[in-house]
Amino acid sequence: MEKPKLLIVDDDETILLAMKWAFAGDYQVFTAGERQGALDLFKKERPPLVTLDLGLPPHAQSAEEGFLTLAGLLEEDPYVKVIIVSGQEERSNALTAVDQGACDFLCKPMQVEELGVILRRALRLYDLESENRVLRAARTNNAFDELIGASPQMQQVFLTIEKVAATDAPILIFGESGTGKELVAKALHARSSRREGSFVAINCSAIPENLIESELFGHEKGAFTGAHTQRKGRIELADKGTLFLDEIGDLPLALQVKLLRFLQEHTIERVGGRKEISIDTRVIAATNVDLDEAIREGRFREDLYYRLGVIKVPVPPLRERSGDVELLAMSFLEKYSAEQKREVFGITPKGMNALKDHRWPGNVRELENRIRRAVILVQGRKITDEDLELGTQKSGRMTLKEARQRAEREIVMQTLRESNFNLTRAAANLGISRPNLYELMEKLGIKKDEKLGAPGS
């Protein structure tokens, strides 16, 4: 079992060496002698335990650097257990540090045994809190449908949802692509008084500009060539329910004017129509675009921005959600193992470390796709770092050749499994000859003499 990590921060090299020697048997010990080095090490290693001397350079005679270090540690991880190690004359500072979020304090000259007891107690507390967050996340997952997260950032999102769901005020959700903005919108709808009504979504960037007006507002028969019948738009279909406007930043300016009028008057006119239709719907919009910049560039109306953003809900990127990668990865593993009927029972420690170290430019969507592909391609009963193929990425991108090879391998593997590795039947299903299938398997690194993790193998 891997030892827990301990970061020791002190400007006295003798103390650092002594403490490292004293605790190396029970912990992975890291040391730092000043604030920036301590914060850099903490961000890299994420230890649950830190001992901190408040007197650090360049102001070793005061507690200024120590308090700044404590604040930096807690900002990075509010759950870290920081034990202040200070002189008797600094006792008041140590008590102040505890008020500011430190876990405990110990006065110098310290006894190693006493510090050991404090560290073990702090680690127990950290583990209990971690387990509670996981349990809370499981309960939260049931309460918030597919939204999963135990990190402080996601707990804040859940709290905001609970606070604002019951209102009818327009809501603007913003965050990077793949962070789960539509899931947040669905959670808001499910907790609102409109939950019995329809949740109607439209992606403003996915519909051609010449069609989106009709999609939103509907049209009358004969309004334009091809309008053979009257048709209700998405806004009208969302009456008594919720309208979700995804990627609102890509809505054409002309339609922004019409949308603003609807938000103000709660009425619409279908394309080609003259009759005003009253609509009672709650509007939730989402964007991954910097709308402030879009306003400055004249691509988005400022009045519409303020009308939509009565309440703003930021959704954090996955790289800022400490601990959530593991929760999400295991959730997706369970989901796709069942869907693909694969006996995959977990992720190896190296595989999990690879997941935690990755930056996830595509956020939760990228993680989900990565786990899904790994479940399909895995050769054993646990996903390894090699199955995840994260080390081959360059800045989150792959070449067109790599993408083609991966797609080919997925298709061939899936076809082989569906045919129970009967090569003749698999070749026929792929529309190629058996010799061509052999060549393709060799090129893609698929072995001929074993079933490569086929179900039941």
The segment with the largest mean pLDDT, out of 101-110, 158-167, 382-391, is: 158-167
- Rounded CA separation 249/203 (Å): 10
What is the predicted pLDDT for the residue at 273?
A: 84
What is the predicted pLDDT for the residue at 145?
A: 63
| pLDDT band with cut points at 50, 70 and 90 for residue 194 | very high
DSSP H or E stretch at residue 245: strand 242-246
> Please, what are the domains in the chain?
5-129 (3.40.50.2300), 152-314 (3.40.50.300), 320-397 (1.10.8.60), 399-457 (1.10.10)
What is the predicted pLDDT for the residue at 451?
A: 47
Mean of the per-residue pLDDT values of the chain: 86
Q: Which two tokens stand for residue 162?
A: 């609970």
Residue with more model confidence, 61 or 36: 36
Decide if pLDDT at 259 tops 90: yes
Q: Please write the tens of the pLDDT for every residue from 118-174.
A: 999 889 888 877 766 665 555 555 556 678 888 888 989 999 999 999 988 999 999
Region 190-197: what's the mean pLDDT?
92
- Looking only at the bridges linking them, the beta strands covering 81-87 and 5-9 are unpaired
Q: Which residues pair with 382 in a beta bridge?
A: 346
The length of the chain, given as a count of residues: 457
What is the predicted pLDDT for the residue at 144?
A: 66
- Rounded CA separation 159/313 (Å): 11
Contact status, residue 86 vs residue 52, Cβ threshold 8 Å = no
- Percent over 90 (pLDDT), the chain: 47
What is this structure's pTM? 0.57
What is the predicted pLDDT for the residue at 440?
A: 78
At how many degrees (to 10) do helices 324-340 and 112-143 cross?
50
Decide if pLDDT at 392 tops 70: no
Q: Please write the tens of the pLDDT for every residue from 303-361.
A: 999 999 999 999 999 999 988 898 899 889 888 988 988 878 778 777 888 898 899 99
What is the predicted pLDDT for the residue at 454?
A: 37
- Percent over 70 (pLDDT), the chain: 91
Residue with more model confidence, 17 or 100: 17
Identify which of 90, 85, 86, 9 has the alpha carbon closest to the alpha carbon of residue 47. 9
Tell me which DSSP letter residue 146 carries.
T
Q: Please write the tens of the pLDDT for every residue from 2-35.
A: 899 999 999 989 999 999 999 999 999 999 999 9
Residue with more model confidence, 61 or 301: 301
Low-confidence winner among 139-153, 223-237, 254-268, 439-453 (lowest mean pLDDT): 439-453
What is the predicted pLDDT for the residue at 396?
A: 46
Q: Which residue matches tokens 């009308």?
A: 307
Tell me which DSSP letter residue 394 carries.
B
Region 291-299: what's the mean pLDDT?
93
Strand ranges (DSSP E) for 33-163? 49-52, 81-87, 104-108
Residue with more model confidence, 318 or 110: 318
What is the predicted pLDDT for the residue at 421?
A: 78
Decide if pLDDT at 456 tops 50: no
- Rounded CA separation 149/256 (Å): 34
Q: Which residues pair with 313 in a beta bridge?
A: 173
What is the predicted pLDDT for the residue at 347?
A: 84
Tell me which DSSP letter residue 61 carries.
T
Decide if pLDDT at 455 tops 60: no
Q: Please write the tens of the pLDDT for every residue from 37-66.
A: 999 999 999 999 999 999 898 888 888 999
